Amino acid sequence: MNIITRFAPSPTGSLHLGAVRTAIFNFLFTKRNKGKFILRIEDTDQERSTNDSLDEILKSLNWLGVDYDDGPHIQSDRLSIYKKIAQDLVDKNLAYKCFMKNEEIEELKNQAAKEKKVYRYPRTWRDRTDHPENAKYVIRFKTPDSHIIEFSDTLRGTIKIGSDNLDDFIILKSDGYPTYNFSTVIDDAEMGITNVIRGEDHLSNTSKQTLIFDSLNKKPPLFTHVSMILGKDKTKLSKRNGSKSIQDFKDEGILPIAILNYLARLGWSHGDQEIFTLDEMVDLFDINNLTKSPAIFDEDKLKWVNSQHLKRLSNNDLLKVVKVDFYQGINIDLALSSAKVKAKDTIMLNESLKFCESELIKIGDEFIDDLYTKDTKEIIEAFYTDALDLKSFEIKEIKDCMNIFLEKRGLKMKQIALPLRIILTGSKASPGIFEVISILGKEIFSKRIEHYLES
RNA sequence: GUCCCCAUCGUCUAGCCUGGUCUAGGACACCGCCCUUUCACGGCGAAAACAGGGGUUCAAAUCCCCUUGGGGACGCCA
């Protein structure tokens, strides 16, 4: 059987990590099995759904490289379908119209809270036929009494829940929109979804959805409820405990593959391997090899994974993510090679390559003490004179030149490396000094030294 | 409160299904040392866990039960 899966976010905010992880699992699983991956937008909450959110979700998925084969299907385009099926269920006496007013429900909820009980809809309209004319109503599902609801989960086995724990839940709201449990089931059935991979927080919804599948005479898909990602405080990830959106990570210089890798490794593993390419993940991913317990999000490790991918990136690919205008004459290849091994994110990378952007660099006032002593100036000038004689500005030549210079003058590397670094990069932190000189090349090197000597 | 899920180092995890090779392996973070021209990278090392109690068995991190702990759900949100 061909695998068909879906990722079904609701456009009520930016894409967050938990959602992204289920998207990744669906994506990997589907690719692994050469199936079809559908994107479906569950915008049945008129109040909270926004186009901006939808745009951001699409943008983020695209940036991550989580591509879908079909969609996005928008649920609000399909209202007539849900309405019709809800009405069918009413006609079959499997659902019913409920005319209870909001105020009445509020009252019941308050009452329940007072008695420290959980509110349950009292089935007031379940069997009534004295329906008011032109009044607003919702459609509720007739949850059967004392029935054992059973469904299976590929990770957790068979799960059984007594129907008495559920009340007559709403499937169609008074604004004519379906509720989540209803539209999800209809779409999963209509779209031929074979595998539903979603967060563990949906486990309790699955019992309701099983009931709906039954009422529709449809076979439910195979469920896999993936463990949740928790914040540092061990509760569901939310803005409160530091959850960031994909956009945030992008802005912080995290690579898409690092997010994919880190998030996939949260709950999934392949022996001791920590770093995966996308192809490797697709190749190795096994839905049956997921951890059942929740995992705490650790930004330090994400950063580390990011640094590992940064190191592995080819200079060609690196050029696409780096935001540096290399000045003409800069040895870009060498610059990238020496910068990428040290950076943890692309922000750092950009920062460390700043000295490559122009012919001259600005030297901050804080370095005056380090640079403008008579000795320093004299040493730099002397080394400069030697360096000018070099035919090639390869690292090796520069190094040899330096060693001869130091020996000749009885100096230590330390005495010249720091000022030279500041003069050439405007910073105390940079790639190795020989690399820096080689990256700049003879011309820019000379310009910067002369500029210093003249100041 | 009710229902559901889960339980190996601080964190992510390997091992669990198919008991013995586990004096429990790896990674992040932390600490120490080394490398060193800065910042880093890297290398080496240390510390660090089978929640508790009962079973089953010659043998349990691994199987079963209970307790405890954690998480999730209980919306005209998804």
- Chain B bases near protein CB atoms (7 A cut-off): 1-8, 10-15, 25-29, 36-41, 70-78
All CATH 1.10.1160.10 domain ranges of chain A, comma separated, are 239-317
Say whether A7 sits in a helix, a strand or coil: strand
Domain A322-454, CATH 1.10.10.350 — does that match? Answer: yes
**Which protein residue has its CA closest to C1' of B13?**
A269
With CA of A303 and C1' of each nucleotide, the nearest comes out as B28
Domain ranges in chain A with CATH number 3.40.50.620 = 4-79+178-229
Question: A140: which nucleotide lies closest, measuring CA to C1'?
Answer: B76
A36-70: pLDDT as tens digits: 999 999 999 999 999 999 999 999 999 999 999 99
Residue nearest to nucleotide B73 (CA to C1'): A204
**Preceding peptide of A11 cis, ω within 30°:** no
Q: Shortest CA–C1' contact from A433: which nucleotide?
A: B37
Determine the CATH number of domain A4-79+178-229: 3.40.50.620
* φ and ψ at residue A98, rounded to 5 degrees: -120, 125
Distance CA A186, CA A88 (A): 13
Distance measured from the CA of protein residue A292 to the C1' of nucleotide B68, in angstroms: 20
What CATH number matches the domain at A239-317, 1.10.1160.10, 3.30.565.10, 3.40.50.2300, 3.60.40.10? Answer: 1.10.1160.10
Distance of C1' in B23 from CA in A295, Å: 29
Q: Are A422 and A367 in contact (CB under 8 A)?
A: yes
Give the residue whose CA sits closest to B72 at C1': A201
Q: Is A223 helix (H, G, I), strand (E, B) or coil?
A: strand
Q: What is the pLDDT of residues A396-422, one digit of tens each?
A: 888 888 888 888 888 888 888 988 999
- Through-space separation of residue A40 CA and nucleotide B3 C1' in angstroms: 30
Distance A294 CA to B8 C1' (A): 14
Q: Looking at this protein, which amino acid is placed at residue A29? A: F
User: Do residues A174 and A139 lie in contact, with contact meaning Cβ atoms separated by under 8 Å?
Assistant: no
pTM comes to: 0.93
Q: Burial-class residue A270 by CB neighbours within 10 Å (0-12, 13-18, 19+).
A: middle
Give CA–CA dist A266/A246, Å, rounded: 16
- Nearest protein residue to nucleotide B70 (CA to C1' distance) is A234
Nucleotide in closest CA–C1' contact with A293: B6
pLDDT digit of tens for each residue in chain A (455 aa)? 699 999 999 999 888 899 999 999 999 999 999 999 999 999 999 999 999 999 999 999 999 999 999 979 999 999 999 999 999 999 999 999 999 999 899 888 888 888 888 889 999 999 999 989 889 999 999 999 999 999 999 999 999 999 999 999 999 999 999 999 999 999 999 999 999 999 999 999 999 999 999 999 999 999 999 999 999 888 888 777 778 899 999 999 999 999 999 999 999 999 999 999 999 999 999 999 999 999 999 999 999 999 999 999 999 999 999 999 999 989 999 999 999 999 999 999 999 999 999 888 888 878 777 777 778 888 888 898 888 888 888 888 888 888 888 888 888 888 889 889 999 998 888 999 999 999 999 899 989 998 888 87
What is the distance in angstroms between the CA of the first residue and the CA of the last residue of chain A?
A: 76
